[in-house]
Amino acid sequence: MKTAYELIMERLNKESPLPKLTDEQKKKLAEIDSIYKAKIAELEVVMKEQIDRAYSEGEVEKAEELKRRLIEGKKKLEAEMEEKKEAVRQGKA
């Protein structure tokens, strides 16, 4: 017996099947993933050091602002990554 999720996925695949990716596309997607995961990790390390320093100096407002900037930076990088990956999937890169 199939789950509701499996049934929905089957229907979606029938209506608009996912294109098969070439080995080159898969390689590019993995490379993009790797690059952006490294950028995100680097951002987290740098920003968390600054956040910790701000807290240790008693600058709570500054620390909260840095946290907000970290979240925004991560979202921006993730969006860029998804745009590039989608371009590869569409065959535009």
- The two structure tokens encoding residue 9: 């996925």
- DSSP-assigned letter for residue 58: T
Q: Does residue 16 sit within a domain?
A: no
Q: Does residue 38 sit within a domain?
A: yes
Q: Does residue 78 sit within a domain?
A: yes
Band (77; pLDDT cuts 50, 70, 90): very high
pLDDT for 74 beyond 90: yes
Q: Does residue 83 sit within a domain?
A: yes
Residue 59's domain comprises 22-89
Instruction: Specify the residue for token string 């807290």.
Output: 55
Split into its structural domains, the chain has a count of: 1
Query: Are the C-beta atoms of residues 26 and 85 closer than 8 Å to each other?
Result: no
The pLDDT of residue 17 is 65
Each residue's pLDDT tens digit, 16-61: 666 788 999 999 999 999 999 999 999 999 999 999 999 999 999 9
